[in-house]
Amino acid sequence: MKLLRKVLILTHRYLGIVFSALIVMWFVTGITMMYVGGMPRLTPELRLERIAPVDVSQVRVTPGEAEARAELSDPPSRATLLSVVGRPAYRFSVGRDSVTVFADTGEVADELTIAQTGDVAARFMRVPMDKVRHVATLEETDQWTLGLGRVVPLHKFAIDDGEGSELYVSPVTGDAVMLTTAKTRAFAWISTIPHWLYFEGLRENQPLWYRIVVWTSGIATVIGVLGLILGITQYRRGRSTWAGAIPYGGWLRWHYITGIVFGVFTVTWAFSGLLSMEPFEWTNAEGIAVPRQALSGGRLELASYPSMDASAWNRVLDGAALKEVEFVRMQGEHYYVVRRTVEDGRDLGKRERLHQPYPVNGRVGPDRLIVAAATLQPRSDPFTADSIVERVRAAVPDAAIADYQLLTEYDSYYYSRNRQTPLPVVRIRFADPTGTWLYIDPEMNQVLASIPRLARVERWLYNGLHSLDVGYLYSRPLWDVVMLVLLIGGLASSAIGLYLGMKRVLRAAVRKIPGPATVPAGDVSLPAR
């Protein structure tokens, strides 16, 4: 028993010496991420606000004609009308590729020059051209465009706007895809980048980055578990007071106390951080996949859209600026999804990560309008839950539906702190082996999330333990208070452990430094004359 206790103590001690600095950093950046977390990004609201409006009067080519000009290899997965370098243009997406056809002439757009993308940057940032400086052409992603590898090359511009802004523009599409400022870059360096070890050189090597995060968070979990075990085994039972039962003094005593009080949270926080990497097979469980055409009612047929009548569109827009039109098919009928801006500066706030650990698609669109292609009449009512369920049942006949419901408020698995995901939503619960819950937006008639049983379990193990995403804690500042107390407690315990470990290392190092040479008594030699 003594040998086992000694092994536990030494393992906890020396793993702590090696990894405690990393654990301290995780707690510190966990606190900063609560308020400034997140990599810089170009928000959908800012993008919509800044892109140039579409001049409908200049649209002389129909969507069907533009599709023919594009000579696509496959039917487009997405088709939009927007403004590119000041001209109306159709954009067709096929897989990862896209083709742009100008809607005024039918000309297929070529890749933009640096001068043209510089003009895009100046218009987007609303500054004169002499305030825009080309910095580099990126053939590979940099620190701020990690995850945007599919849109390279990119032209990077420095903007002289007093905020240290840097804008990345795609020469292929003419779109601004990333915006950073000196402030957002600094915030990322004190929060997200160190917390997720999101350093460019490391992150580009995906397998290495994955292994490092998994192993370090796993070792942090082991350190915490060993600390809890030692907290129990080292406790002196039978003492008259709790203070007398603690076998340590000084800073080691405080390390023991904070470890006992905050140790469980430290362990669950480290373990849930490990789960964010989905290292186990069961964390990659997939739910029922509903074919896209089940809800659309068939392939998008761009020939079904007539030529655009400027006067009719002006009545639809009612004074708002038309920024983008997406061509969609919903339940067999063709529609325009019109995105417009009525006021500047609209932003739904910091984008939630919403790992959950399943993707949740869709976002509230306050300036969105759905218009029937045949009549140009706005659609005011969402599709009914019955019509959606009927199409889903026909698409996956082998999966029995247990029940369905139109939710007007979030539940424990489809939710948003800042109410960024759409409501109402149709929830369909299947009686299939994976226990899938399906969430569908009745306004856009699209699947927002497919969540099997194991993903719901992981939702609690990850979001529940790591971010305390629990219903009664959603309200702020209660959530802030609870999270700060727990994070600061874990930080105190790990920081004291770091101090004690470094003290031990320095003391051992000093012992190994040889002292001044001593001369034995009686062995004094006189210098020769």
Alpha-carbon distance of 386 to 331, in angstroms, equals 12
pLDDT at site 526: 42
Please report the pLDDT score of residue 529 as a whole number.
Answer: 36
The confidence score (pLDDT) of residue 417 equals 79
Q: At what angle do helices 250-275 and 206-233 cross, to 10 degrees?
A: 140
Strands 176-180 and 165-169 come out as antiparallel
Measured CA to CA, the distance from residue 84 to residue 173 in angstroms comes to 8
On whether the CB atoms of residues 251 and 499 are closer than 8 A, the answer is yes
Q: What is d(CA 8, CA 232) in angstroms, rounded to the nearest whole number?
A: 12
Count of alpha carbons within 13 Å of 483, Cβ hemisphere only?
25
Q: What are phi and psi of 415, to 5 degrees?
A: -160, 170
pLDDT of res. 243 = 78
Question: Taking Cα atoms as reference points, which of 59, 96, 94 lies closest to residue 79?
Answer: 94
The pLDDT value recorded for residue 359 is 84
Q: Where exactly are the structural domains of the chain?
A: 292-451
d(CA 520, CA 201): 57
> Is 455 in a helix, a strand, or coil?
helix
Which residues, including other chains, have CB under 8 Å from residue 520's CB and lie 6 or more apart?
none
Alpha helices in 134-249 (DSSP H): 182-189, 192-195, 200-203, 206-233
- Tell me the residue type at 345: G
Q: What is the pLDDT tens value at each position of the chain, 529 positions in all?
A: 788 889 999 999 999 999 999 999 999 999 999 998 789 989 888 888 899 999 999 999 999 999 999 998 888 999 999 999 999 999 999 888 889 999 999 999 999 999 999 999 999 999 999 999 999 999 999 999 998 888 899 999 999 999 999 999 999 999 999 999 999 999 999 999 999 999 999 998 999 999 999 999 999 999 999 999 999 988 888 776 777 888 889 999 999 999 999 999 999 999 999 998 988 888 787 888 899 889 999 999 999 999 999 999 999 988 888 999 999 999 999 999 999 875 554 444 455 655 668 888 888 877 789 999 999 999 989 999 999 999 999 999 999 999 999 999 999 999 887 788 899 999 999 998 999 999 999 999 999 999 999 999 999 999 899 999 887 887 788 999 999 999 999 999 999 999 999 999 998 888 888 766 555 555 444 444 3
| Residue 515: predicted pLDDT | 65
Q: How far is CA 255 from CA 30, 230, 233, 246, 250, in A?
A: 20, 12, 15, 11, 9
The Cα–Cα gap between 64 and 54 comes to 18
Question: pLDDT at position 354, please?
Answer: 53
